[in-house]
A and B are shown apart, each in its own frame.
Chain A
Amino acid sequence: MTTAPERALDELDISDDPGPGGQVGRPVLRYGGADRTTGAQRFVADLRFPGALQVALVTVPVGCADILGIDATAARAIPGVVDVVTPADLPSPMPRFGVSHTDRPVLADGRVNYHGEPVAAVVAETLDAAQAAARAVRVDHRELPGVYTLDAALAPGAHLVQEPSVRPGHALADTNVLEEAHYAWGDVEAEEGRSAVVVEDTYTFPMVTHFPIEPGGTVVVPTDQGGLDVYSPVQHPYLLQRTIASVIGLPLNQVRVVAPDPGGGFGGKQNPKLEPLLAFLALHTRRPCRLVLSLEETFQSMRRAGCRIRARTGFTEDGELTFHLVEADFLIGAYADVAPRVMGKGSYVAAGPYRIPGVRIDARAVMTNTTPSTAFRGFGSPQVAWATESQLDAGARLLGLDGLEIRRRNLVAKDEAFVRGESAATADGEWRQSLDKAAELIGWGTPLPPNRGRGIAVGIKPGATSGLSQSLVRLLCDGSAIVYAGTSDMGQGARTLWQQIVADELGTPLDQVSVVSGDTGTVPFDLQTSASRSTVFMGSAVLEACRDVRQRVLDLYAEATGIPAEQLEERPGALVTPDGELSLPEAARTALGSLRGEFIGQGTRRLRGKGSHPLGGDAAFYEFNATAIEVEVDRETGELLLTRHVTVSDVGTELNPLQVVSQDEGAAIMGLGHSQMEQLLLDEHGRIRNLGALDYRIPTFKDVPVELLTAAVENHDGPGPYGSKGISEGALLCTAGALGAAVAEATGVVIRDLPLTPERVWTALQSAPDRAD
């Protein structure tokens, strides 16, 4: 028996040529799409569990408080209430979990650290009873002077979100700074000395929430064998499996995670949150326990880190960057989640995709008594890009250059370093092509009517720096095939790509390839669905599994026919024999003979990290995007009308152009969300004031630019199948910079705080010295 060899990603020999079936590269319609239009698609809240208990969470109405006592007497008396579970019912010490720090308690451990943190949980026969009982639980608490802003968290003597005893001896233990990141190269002082122009300013990026239209939820079912079946629409089912197993103390095979397709994830559904609590409730009651979140509870469960960036940047007379200093404070939440990595990875690219001789970047992840911030499309890059792109435009204005020209003069060429020093990074694409394409599509340089302006910006984001994806492909005796791939299909359309790859590589008709995912009990391991990694990692694993199948067909065909294996050759979709070429399904039928059976191929793609690298390894690829926006500003109201919005991404190869367009348009509009309207606002008790869809606005149909154009640059230079790269985040990386520059050109007023709401724009226009009236 042969097994598919494992190779490091950079050793891959993946053909740039799409397979003979020609499905790769075509706008194949979404796998599972029809069920999504008819309502037949089952999301987690649509699953039915006979005998399940309903769960409601008990919280306190402030962001930071000591819990003095919990009285559930009245709650327990409500008919239908089975139990009220408090920390006293959980193991002691309180079990904790987390991806970067094991700091998050299953229930608030004597202290509430953010508004919405569960203090107790009610389990009842009906949801009505559970919710009534949750309101009836009396939580005696004493509010503490929580820290809800960067300034409050960084002030001397500030309330500490994390007990210093959690990290004894740590230099930062007595502060709210959880982690720092520092990157530096070149002689910044000398570079400043030769600079013709220096610009310095402070930029802010708001806290925003993912707002998936599916709020989500979890059901945990205790099994007869003492294990747990966990149903949760997570992006990382295998991480959830490991977390539950670890918190409860079960072997992995006793924890089965079934992950129905997430109804939107965007990073918010990556890491475990309330699932460990549901696991304890199921163990406690020995019944299935079900919690479906409200949208408000989802707001309290996930958000993007806000950020304040101070930047000082120098240029030569010719507009060449000389140095760039960045101090970035990421406003993270009450528990670490993956926020320190967001800070570290985002700030790694804080100097942008530019040729800068001197750089110093100092970033901090600052804890506050707020919803734990987590991964969110862009993963720290949009925050720093807002500042760095705005700085380029500030320099350009002083030097009399335009936004396109200053970027042309500084953008790195392919293979040129944009991060220097020990952990250098070089451009993995001809990024200039994307910039020029965006300029062309926006009509850069053509005349504009009054009150209109254009801006152009670029953004980069490092892809995954290590990873592992495993896949199985079964070629059945009738030529149809089943792919097992653990990628969560949350809207990006991953399963469609696997279908396309298998169709081409095995010669199976597209509609005879099915995909199984979302079940750790049947599908092999996949590290995660994040960082736009799945095309490259899982795509390569699926491709390799197909090759493994072909080799097995060849071997068995040789054995069955007596033709020496050396005289046979496998290729995509076919087996070449001395008597001519057979389709692979036909060769498989002959090889399998009257006993039938099937071929099972295995594929593995592993990228080992580098321990010495600050990101844990070199990025497998970079997402690069250029965005250009033309805006009309209503000076009377401050409203922005986007007349044209262009994004161009460097994608390597489009495996499915329709899905690339969908992802790019979606990212672009999501980028307009944090650029124009979205921001979580807190009151003095740390409560989200705009908690819910009524007050927290995301882009609607009416917020889509008049013209929205996306384009892709294809040079087949990515590490994924057929030269592909990941693509799902690019189009929101630099939206804010492009919009800010466009508003500045239209009005002469520069705004450095997001979002650019009508109120903020109008206010800035009123205070501008060059008011038109």
Chain B
Amino acid sequence: MTTSDHLVDDALQTVTLTVNGSERTVAVPAHRTLLDGLRDEVGLPGTKSCCAEGECGACTVLLDGKAVNSCLVLCVEAEGHEVTTVEGLSADGLTDLQEEFLNAGAVQCGFCIPGQVVAAEYLLRTNPSPDEAEIREALSGNLCRCAGYQRIVRAVQATAERRGAAR
């Protein structure tokens, strides 16, 4: 290892992106992830960091409406894109989905829940009436060590029913 390996390339890049409907400009080094950019630069800590390698889903956000692990996206890659975080989903108070998470007893320690809520919202937007197998498949990238899995499935089912009845 040479000394240059230790140097930090902290040249800042200016990135403009839309977060929860508002245009935001941040200055970050090129290696900064969208996850860290959202938490540390935009000031939205609702998105959580756990594995930092795309395996746990705690950092799930919507990028142009699609669920992604924000730890696997560089902040600079989000230039010009739209990001929705859990805070954006709940801007007008609890959503029906969040209410059903509570009603089902799906929320325990809560650390994975923002990611679960975003992933489940994405599922319901793309598949309004998923069956149990589809819910399990769609959320299989979101780990919950409290293992509220069965409760979360019920919350998603109950939300789908509510939305179906409202249509």
Most chain B CB atoms below 10 A, which of A80, A214, A493:
A214
A29: nearest residue on chain B (CB-CB)?
B102
Given A34-B102, A38-B46: A213 in contact with B90 (beta carbons within 8 A):
no
Q: Does B129 contact A (CB under 8 A)?
A: no
Contact across chains for A262 and B109 when beta carbons are under 8 A apart: yes
Of A127-135, A319-327, A617-625, A741-749, the one contacting chain B is: A127-135
Contact across chains for A493 and B108 when beta carbons are under 8 A apart: yes
B47: nearest residue on chain A (CB-CB)?
A39
Q: Does A670 contact B (CB under 8 A)?
A: yes
Given A491-B109, A700-B143: A665 in contact with B53 (beta carbons within 8 A):
no
Residues of the A chain whose Cβ atoms lie less than 8 Å from the Cβ of B148: 662, 665-666
Contact across chains for B52 and A213 when beta carbons are under 8 A apart: no
Q: Does B7 contact A (CB under 8 A)?
A: yes
Q: Does B75 contact A (CB under 8 A)?
A: no
Contact across chains for A264 and B111 when beta carbons are under 8 A apart: yes
A663: nearest residue on chain B (CB-CB)?
B108
- Digitize A28-42: 1 where CB-to-B-CB distance is under 8 Å, 0 elsewhere: 011011111111111
Q: In the bound complex, how far is the Cα of B57 from the Cα of A45, in angstroms?
A: 17
Q: In the bound complex, how far is the Cα of B145 from the Cα of A667, in angstroms?
A: 9
Contact across chains for A42 and B45 when beta carbons are under 8 A apart: yes
> How many A residues touch B, CB cutoff 8 Å?
68
> How many B residues touch A, CB cutoff 8 Å?
61
Residues of the B chain whose Cβ atoms lie less than 8 Å from the Cβ of A659: 105
Q: Does A70 contact B (CB under 8 A)?
A: no
Contact across chains for B109 and A78 when beta carbons are under 8 A apart: no
Give the Cβ gap from A59 to chain B, nearest Cβ, in Å. Answer: 15
- Digitize B142-157: 1 where CB-to-A-CB distance is under 8 Å, 0 elsewhere: 1111111111110000
Taking a contact as CB atoms closer than 8 A, the residue among B53, B109, B151 that contacts A693 in the complex is: B53
Given A74-B3, A74-B6: A701 in contact with B102 (beta carbons within 8 A):
no
Contact across chains for A37 and B109 when beta carbons are under 8 A apart: no
Residues of the A chain whose Cβ atoms lie less than 8 Å from the Cβ of B112: 213, 263
B117-167 interface with A by 8 A CB criterion:
117, 135-137, 139-153
A264: nearest residue on chain B (CB-CB)?
B109
Contact across chains for A128 and B10 when beta carbons are under 8 A apart: yes
Give the Cβ gap from B101 to chain A, nearest Cβ, in Å. Answer: 5
Q: In the bound complex, how far is the Cα of B135 from the Cα of A665, in angstroms?
A: 18
Given A30-B107, A41-B110: A213 in contact with B102 (beta carbons within 8 A):
no
Q: In the bound complex, how far is the Cα of B114 from the Cα of A215, in angstroms?
A: 16
Contact across chains for B102 and A39 when beta carbons are under 8 A apart: no
Q: Does B14 contact A (CB under 8 A)?
A: no
Contact across chains for A266 and B145 when beta carbons are under 8 A apart: yes
Q: Does A669 contact B (CB under 8 A)?
A: yes
Q: In the bound complex, how far is the Cα of B36 from the Cα of A294, in angstroms?
A: 13
Give the Cβ gap from B53 to chain A, nearest Cβ, in Å. Answer: 6
- Digitize A280-303: 1 where CB-to-B-CB distance is under 8 Å, 0 elsewhere: 000000000000001100000000
Q: Does A762 contact B (CB under 8 A)?
A: no
Contact across chains for B151 and A37 when beta carbons are under 8 A apart: no
Q: List, sorted by A's number, 30 A–B pairs whose CB atoms are closer than 8 Å.
A: A30-B102, A33-B101, A34-B98, A37-B117, A38-B89, A40-B87, A42-B45, A43-B48, A128-B8, A210-B145, A212-B145, A213-B56, A213-B58, A213-B112, A213-B143, A263-B109, A263-B110, A263-B111, A264-B145, A266-B145, A491-B110, A661-B105, A668-B147, A670-B145, A670-B147, A692-B51, A698-B145, A699-B147, A701-B142, A704-B136
